[in-house]
Structure 1
Amino acid sequence: MAKFQKGSSVSKVFNNSRFGGNANPSIHIGLGILVAFFFFSGWIASKNIQTLQQNTVLVTRTHETLTALRDVLSVFKDAETGQRGYLLTGDENYLAPYNKALADIEENLVTLEELTEYNMTQRDSLAILKNHIGKKLAELEATINIRRTEGFQPALALVKNGEGRAEMDAIRRILSTMEGTEQLVRNERISDMQRAYRTTAVHIILTSIVGLILAVVAFILIRRAINARARQNWLQKGEAALAKATVGDQTPETLGENILRFFADYLHIQAGAFYV
């Protein structure tokens, strides 16, 4: 009689069959790389979005500064229009644009102070501008008061002395310089924003390509791991079934027949034996 011993060379047939193998441990590494990649990509995308937002705010701030500078000149034109109308007619109604301009100029200067807070060059120019604005407003007020108290000719004489024109020319010159400086800042900020857009676009494309490749690799690794686990389960089930088929005292002929029948059924193969 012969008894089949568990762990004998017969059970090793499973390890040599096409179903043998172990699970692939690299699946954990692959998934770790995939997660790390998308985490890093998300961080880069967040930084790019922050850069775009900052550049958008800065470009908007520059546009607002340019608008405020142009508004100062426009308001002064309104003030001069009101002054001239009153000087010619003596009618207080003509001072409406002048009176409105006084309030608007003050508001525009406050706006410019806020918008140029972090630009020292513009802050220095603004300080000089405010000095000339003060002198020009004083000249406008003086001519209006003289026209009101002394008449047209004395007021006209004050206008002709050229002080008001000199101050207005200085205001125009400073506003033009500040506008030119702000245009340079605007162009630089727009260039930064365009670079940020290009960087974001390239990042999205590269992330999509690399992410797709990593996803495919992860899929392959996962599938291999699943197949390896299935093979391992198949092996364990086969060993248990083989042990059951060979348990007990059996003659060599019976044992051989049972083993052969088991492998033929379990491996789905055809087998035969020759007896001499």
Structure 2
Amino acid sequence: MIPDSTPSPSARRPLGARLGPVRSRAGLTAAGAALLLLVGSANGVLLAWQSSVQHRITHTLTVDRTLMQVLADLLDSETGQRGYLLTGDPAFLVPYTAGQARIAAELPVLDAELRASPTQEARLRALRPAIDRKFAELDRTLALDRAGDRDGALALVRAGEGKAEMDGIRRIIESMRAQEDDLLVGYQRHAHRIEALVGIGSVVSVGIMALLAVLALRETARGGRPCRASCRRSWRPSSSAADWSGAAACGSASGATRPSPSWTCADPPRSPSGPIPRRWPSW
């Protein structure tokens, strides 16, 4: 009688032992997916924070640029006034009137940008009357010249009233710019930190995705092994179709054909030189 080499159900591994690796791999996959989701959410929060910081940097640069433009326009107006007083050429009044018009448009911009800063808003309230006094001084000198009193206009310039007003305006603008520069340095430091954290999060995300891909490939590679092993255990080459039923399912999937040998794997025929080696189907 040919002994059956198929392992009995009692010899097989317990169900819990066989499901252990499956549960372990499923747990690793779930943990990796959860970690990937967590890192992605953190990166999203960091990117939103970075957008907010970039908006603040843009705001600070806008305020600083507008303050510099106000000071430049004041200098243009003062240069045009003095050129006109010295030469009497009306062409020198072009930068004077242009600077005055630009400052009238720039002060509302500063007012809108600095509403969130009480300190800067207080400085802006002090800057407005200082600019008004400076233009009043320029207008007085021009009015004296138009009235024919050029010497009186030049004497008013030499008195230093306009210079004192200009120095006060410079101090206010420089203090406002200094605060904006301090804010800009802090915002840029935050932006660099956020960029570093986003980079680290991206590297971690790529690593997690690579790990999940490796686990998926390993799982795919292991998927066909149990079926092939089951076919080999249950195959009994013979002329009977019933002996081939154990491997039919796997053989049809792997492209194997029904073998032709008429002996069984458990009791192969013998030859004068010894037993004929077993031959397993290759799939």
TM-score range, shorter chain: 0.7 to 0.9
Instruction: Answer yes or no: is 1:127 the counterpart of 2:125.
Output: yes
AA partner of residue 196 (structure 2):
R
Match of 1:253 in 2: none
Question: What is the TM-score with the length of structure 2 in the denominator?
Answer: 0.71
Question: What CA distance in whole angstroms lies between the structure 2 residues aligned with 1:36 and 1:79?
Answer: 65
1:190-243 residue CA offsets vs partner (Å, 9 max, x unmatched): 11111111111222223333443344344434544x25763697499779x999
Deviates more, 1:120-129 or 1:200-209: 200-209
Q: Would you say the 8 A contact 2:6–2:234 is kept in 1?
A: no
C-alpha contact (below 8 Å) 1:26/1:221 kept by paired residues: no
The CA distance in 1 between the partners of 2:56 and 2:232, in whole Å, is 67
| Partner Cα separation in structure 2 for residue 111 and residue 222 of structure 1 | 64
Alignment-derived partner of residue 55 in structure 1:
53
1:65 corresponding residue in structure 2: 63
Residue in structure 1 matched with residue 78 of structure 2 by the alignment: 80
Q: Which moved more, 1:109-118 or 1:62-71?
A: 109-118
Kindly provide the amino acid, as one letter, of the partner of residue 261 in structure 1: T
2:76·2:99 contact (CA, 8 Å) conserved in 1? yes
Please give the residue correspondences for 1:94-173 in structure 2 after superposition, counting only pairs within 5 Å: 94-173=92-171
- Residue-by-residue CA offset, 1:31-90 (whole Å, 9 max, x unaligned): 322332222222122222222222222223222222211111111110001111222233
Kindly provide the amino acid, as one letter, of the partner of residue 78 in structure 2.
Answer: E
Equivalent residues in 2 for 1:218-257 (5 A)?
A: 218-221=216-219, 223-224=221-222, 226-227=223-224, 230=227, 234=231, 244=242
CA shift, 1:183, in A, is 1.1
- In structure 1, C-alpha distance between the alignment counterparts of 2:8 and 2:72, rounded to whole Å: 97
Q: Kindly indicate whether the alpha-carbon contact (under 8 Å) linking 1:78 and 1:97 is maintained by their aligned counterparts in 2.
A: yes
Report the equivalent of 1:13: 8
1:250 matched residue in structure 2? none
CA distance, structure 1, for counterparts of residue 90 and residue 66 of structure 2: 29
Residues 24-39 of structure 1 mapped to structure 2, 5 A cutoff: 24-39=22-37
Identify, as 1 or 2, the structure richer in helix: 1
Pick from 194, 197, 206: which aligns with 2:195? 197
Which structure 1 segments of 5+ residues have no match? Answer: 1-8, 246-259, 271-276
Provide the rounded CA distance (Å) in 1 between the counterparts of 2:98 and 2:68. 17
Match of 1:178 among 176, 179, 196: 176
Q: Report how far residue 145 of structure 1 moved.
A: 1.5
Q: Which residue of 2 aligns with 1:249?
A: none
Is contact 1:80–1:140 with CA below 8 Å preserved after alignment? yes
| Deviation per residue, 1:82-115 (Å, 9 max, x gap) | 1112222333322111010011111222232233
Aligned residues: 244
Q: 1:151 to 1:90 in 2, by over 3 A?
A: farther
Q: 2: CA distance between counterparts of 1:233 and 1:22? A: 15
Give the structure 1 partner of residue 258 of structure 2.
none
Q: CA RMSD in A?
A: 3.6
For 1:107-152, what per-residue CA distance to the aligned partner results, in whole angstroms no more than 9, with x for missing partners? 2222322332322222221111112111111111122122212420
